[in-house]
Structure 1
């Protein structure tokens, strides 16, 4: 087996392991699959896998995400000892970790830790969607909607790169008088899951049901394709949590975002 074939085999084993718990690991799967499409491909030597259940992605060599300060990692493990050993070898002096709360003691053994945020993931599977509160016919945004997107301040330059859910994502919006009043982004995060993200309603259009109507309509379209849908939100964002619940999303799990500063080593 050549080095490239061995690397491909290692990556495939990681993906197969992640798919055993598809919902919990969907973001990591999505990142790996997205990176595999880059030209030139992301060097998978920066992907580390431990049979005990620890996965750590080193972003130093990443052509798009590498070089940021601090470096970002996503980790999960069934064996905290294995995770501690893996992190101890790979983490730089400054990093941010998105992890489960029960792994915090492991990170505390590696250096000073500070919890700087949290993220809840909610899910809605086909058959769980609630009834529509407000009829709507959303518009898929494309480069021809650049003026409306620019007025909304929603990254108009990215429109040209958003080809589908798997390459950049797909934006949907409710338009009124040629203006965006509510919008969201759909991104494929794994084989059977899509993420609804960046949900926002214009300030003068809130509390009128536009956000829930848009989310409900887009989720229904995804369900018709056999996809489950995830919705990530900060636990303090009560309006967003209420919107998700009204549509049919239910709590799945919570990540902690932890900043780790390790002792400086010469």
Structure 2
């Protein structure tokens, strides 16, 4: 019994020790991509496959992007390549303060934020004048960034690097490497994805259209609100009052957050499917 209890904790500890900071880690991003791939039409799927088949043009052999699952984590993988892609570091998030009125423009000055880059990538994919190499890169960025936008702590911030400066405990698991951001990136996202029913399937057209409706700014506001109302509030009680003690997410709180995290991943997948269709389907 003790061995069965310890193994998951040891695995989780190993993940924190060896995994670089990456939004939604691999499991989350790959699941978003799989949902999208299952919900695009044949023409869009063929266009995605044609572009990714030319991913060697990216010249990042240590960061492959030949499949939609590989492409979904490419933008995190290239962080290890140093100065070559350092210009894209700020594109993974947007620091919209949860204790102030929603203001996307202030957080996205000069387009250096995730929502602005999503819109830019769609435009690049729609433009026949753009070279193939740039289209492949735009596609890989788009697949990743839609997932990033729906990770609440990439869309809402409290002056603490999206929860990275909020030490937190996950159930009985506590370590110095664990913070509120990493919980939503990793163990909470993984539990949400692995909790039945599976999110990866073909959704009825009316349901997919309903979930995917709205603009990128609408989705930004929605994720910002999830960050404020769920991510921060569940950990801190009142998100706008400074707190020095470690935030502790009880097992009961985690269970309540699973449907929230699950819904965000579902939204990301279906909205990515819609954007892929708009960018490549016609």
Superposition TM-score, scaled by structure 2 size: 0.24
Report which of the two has the higher share of strand.
1
Q: Judging by fraction of residues, say which structure has more helix.
A: 2
Structure number with larger C-alpha Rg: 1
Greater relative contact order (Cα 8 A, min sep 6): structure 1 or 2? 2
TM-score (norm 1): 0.25
